[in-house]
Structure 1
Amino acid sequence: MTDGTTDLQALAAEAYIYGYPMVLNLDEVDRVSRTGMGTLSPAPFNEFSHASRLAGPDDTFVSVNNDTVYSLAQLDLSGGAQLLTVPDTDGRYYVLQFVDAWTNNFAYVGRRATGTGAASFLLTPPGWDEEVPLGATRIAVPTEVATIVGRWACSGPDDLAAVQALQEDTLLEPYWTASGESHGLPTHTYIPDGEPELLFYEKLRARMAAFPPAPADLAYQQRFAPLGLLDAQSPYASPEPDLANALRAGFAAGKEKVESASTQGDIPEQNGWKLTYHAFDYNADHFEVGTHKGPQWIYTDRELGRMVRATSARTALWGNHGYEAAYAMAWNDGDGQPLEGGQSYTLRFEKPPPVDAFWSITMYDLPDYYLVDNPVARYSIGDRTPGLSYDDDGSLTLRLQPQRPADDKTAANWLPTPSGNFRPILRMYTPHAAVFDGTYEVPPIRRRQAE
């Protein structure tokens, strides 16, 4: 292999890390808008799809939560602005999270960010310079295509009707100046079957052109010109052999780096948990309604931010900033051993996580991070779970294992585990400062000895 090809391979690996979040994100945008996802029906751009229940194993989306009922809208503002209206939720927790094409969380609407009263918001495309209608708040969307991820607190089946009424009153409609002629996602050149690596770079090329990032990243993109990523026409249908080989090798190397960083990267740990409280702080450019601009919530090191963005897309696509919902993830127990489905574990909370809303533990399989079917259809457990059994001192001991515990008291605190290795997530919705300053510690997961 020549030095030039080696350099191209390293550049291709760098481009993979940079482009993976957007390629994955827009693939999911395309998938859910065309075919839906579990209880979320397919919906065209600029229309909400509202789930009718909490997510389950058929909702095949990375780290989907089982705490809230989802509402999802894929925005296409190439035809003009959209007016969003939200109802009065009478104090109920909800959040509408806004994610641009590059996976930046750039705005929030909901109880923490804007309160629970009825309100309207004008969602405007890049370059928009018209008047905002009276009573509406403008949200400038950085890319023409973006996503609204809505989450509605739901206490169980008996609460679904109330949630569905709120969903029906959450609406998107074209602003009166909109033309209605939208572009959607860009088309890309056909790549022969068996060439997923070349298809990845072709998608990246087409989408980089369609959805320019912030100026700092736009300048950074210039380094990828030797890979053909800045070409107006695709070079990947019939690429030069050296380029094709470099792209294939760079794809593999970049993917391996993302996988390794997702589980072994420089992420703060506490009692075996990876504290991903700042996993979505890579947005350094776009701050709209409901976001925090303080330095503790922004990665100023853009190279680090690009890797964090890639690992966050891999493990928790469309996750919130920590100040909306803080996430802790565990691949290992408190002794550093991998979590295995054939074992039995305990998780003892001497004090509950300090939150303004609620908290939960959700169980996922590996390597996909999907919910896993189990006989009792319990995929998460937390402070809203009916019938939890607390100890006399007020502590709460959860049981993580594949089989139902023998006694009913222990079974009330049971979260089923899958047969293979697994990864739980602790979610803390609107957490207190104690979560971030270390005053509160997440307890370790302990393996139980065979009885």
Structure 2
Amino acid sequence: MHTDTHAANAALLRDAILYTLPLYEMARMRAMTCPRRDAAGAFAGDSPDSALRWVNHFIHTRQLLGPQHRQVVTPNNDTLYTNAWLDLSEAPVLIHVPDSGDRYYVLGLLDFYSNPFAYIGTRTTGNAAGRYVLHGPSWTGELPEGATPIACPTNAVWIIGRIMTAGPEDLQAAHAFQDTFHLTALDGSAAHRRFDVGMQPKEQPADAARFVDVVAHALRTNPPPVQETALVARFAQLGIGPQASSSKLYASQLAALEGGIRAVLDEIGAPQPSALGGGWFLPVEVHQSYGDNYFARAQVARNYIGALGIEEAMYIMADCDGNGAPLDGRHAYELHFPPGQLPQVGAFWSVTLYDKADCMLVDNPLNRYSLGDRSPTLRAASDGGLSLYFGAQPPADADLHGNWVPAPAAPFYLTLRLYVPHAAHLNKTFVYPSITHLA
């Protein structure tokens, strides 16, 4: 009987941590990416250690990310990011979106449980200018004329936008496009205001006391869906819940929580099998919500936070070759797409290389971190297909150097990004070519 009770408690602890870890990670990401200064340069807080940030306020990356940018792992090198954290607890906000012409863009909307619940952009709302009212779950009121409402599951929302660029020569035009996004109150007045994010960016979930307090605040301010309240109520016996406080827990409870957190972090960080063959796997497979797949939600929040639903973007990854051996830049590899069998997308595709040790882009003399359908250096293979090469040393044939992404002389992995993937990818009938070990 005692053994059964212990096992049940261990299972409940695992469930509680899997369920709440995305709340912690979203809070940490908000602390990391929510701006300290507004557009006028004013600090939200009065010291560098202040937890005050500006919400309801867009910030934009102005460069394609490179090895020097280390805020997020597995960074995208294809698009500029546009980012805003919203707090809708006091009032809705109005997003003013410009006409993008023929430029692909998306504003992905994530609730505080990390579900990508809606999009504004090319695929869903088109490229024309528009106005959208984002409101919290309990808001009722009059909509401004001509504005489209978007109901948000939580009062805290992360807008993480991607804006396609054709390369460095396109940056000025892309910046001008970014600058025409803005957020206002419904009456047109400024929406941005100070907000206490409640933590520091470098905090980690293994600190059980902080985990309890951060999650408690998140659950109070962003309650779970009604159908999940009974599940969350069960976590209270473990010291996790909206009314929990680390100050009320015994040392033994905190120790148990710390052990449970570490076990879950190990579990969701374990390597994933090559389910798609050829060394490739799909780490993120979500539509608008993870539903009750709390394991997948926690795994993505910890390892790929900010990922969009697969209708908008698929991230196909490989850290092994077609024979299952780990990719290592001390060897040479080829990825060959046969004629007529390139990735099928409505926007763009690319393959990006990352250092396995830190999940970051790898500095190299070419400043080349990815290749894809917009890369001007690519040359067709002799059979009319396309071969890409990866390794610390360039291909022996100098004519193929434009098809090469330099790797570190160490383990690495690849990410094939598919923006607006076609049905062959969504229904998994597309055959991904194997990564071939050459030497």
Amino acid at match of 2:15: E
Kindly indicate whether the alpha-carbon contact (under 8 Å) linking 1:16 and 1:255 is maintained by their aligned counterparts in 2. Answer: no
Match of 2:185 in 1: 174
Change in CA separation of 1:181 and 1:32 when aligned onto 2, cut-off 3 Å: closer
Amino acid of the residue matched to residue 254 of structure 1?
V
Instruction: Confirm or deny that 1:273 pairs with 2:280.
Output: yes
Equivalent AA in structure 2 for residue 275 of structure 1: L
Deviations 1:246-286 (A, max 9, x none): 112111211121112xx236x7322220034x6223716xx
Question: SS of the residue aligned with 1:114?
Answer: coil
Equivalent of 1:395 in 356, 360, 385: 385
Q: Summarize deviations over 1:307-355 as a string: whole Å, max 9, x none.
A: 1111222332111111111221112110011112322111111121011
Q: CA deviation at 1:444?
A: 0.9
**2:79 pairs with 1:68:** yes
**Letter paired with 1:279:** E
Tell me, yes or no, if the aligned pair for 2:391 and 2:409 is still in contact at 8 Å.
Answer: no
Give, in whole Å, the separation in 1 of the partners of 2:410 and 2:62. Answer: 30
Give the SS at the match of 2:208: helix
TM-fit CA distance, 1:230: 2.5
* 1:99 equivalent in alignment to 2:87: no
Residues 307 and 224 (structure 1 numbering): CA distance in 2 closer, same or farther, change over 3 Å? Answer: same
Query: Are positions 1:430 and 2:420 aligned together?
Result: yes
CA distance in 1, matches of 2:149, 2:315: 29
Deviation larger for 192-201 or 41-50: 192-201
Quote the residue 2:298 is aligned against.
310
1:344 aligns with 2:354: no
Alpha-carbon distance in 2 for matches of 1:181, 1:169: 16
Aligned to 1:18: 19
- In the superposition, the TM-score normalised over structure 1's length comes to 0.86
Q: Which moved more, 1:94-103 or 1:397-406?
A: 397-406
**Any stretches of 5+ residues in structure 1 without a counterpart?**
285-298
Classify the secondary structure of the residue corresponding to 2:421. Answer: coil
CA distance in 1, matches of 2:134, 2:406: 42
CA deviation profile, 1:59-103 (whole Å, cap 9, x unmatched): 220222111111111111122111101111112111110011110
Partner of 1:237: 247
Q: Is the 8 A contact 1:346 1:400 kept in 2?
A: yes
Change (3 A) 1:80 1:396: same
> Which runs of 5 or more structure 2 residues have no equivalent in the other structure?
44-52
**What TM-score comes out, normalization by structure 2 length?**
0.88
- What residue number does 1:291 align with? none
Q: Is the 8 A contact 1:6 1:246 kept in 2?
A: no
Aligned to 1:325: 313
Deviation at 1:422, TM superposition (A): 1.7
Q: 1:193 to 1:256 in 2, by over 3 A?
A: closer
Is the alpha carbon distance of 1:184 and 1:358 closer, same or farther for their aligned partners in structure 2, counting shifts above 3 Å?
Answer: same
- State whether residues 82 and 173 of structure 1, in contact with CA within 8 Å, keep that contact through their aligned partners in structure 2: yes
CA contact (8 A) 1:79 1:179 kept: no
Counterparts of 1:16 and 1:195 in 2: how far apart (Å)?
11
What pairs up with 1:10-409 in 2 under 5 angstroms?
A: 10-34=11-35, 44-60=54-70, 61-176=72-187, 184=195, 187=198, 196-230=207-241, 232=243, 234=245, 236-237=246-247, 239-260=249-270, 263-264=271-272, 268-276=275-283, 279-281=285-287, 283=289, 302=292, 305-350=293-338, 351-409=341-399
Same amino acid, percent of matched pairs: 35
Question: Counterparts of 2:110 and 2:234 in 1: how far apart (Å)?
Answer: 26
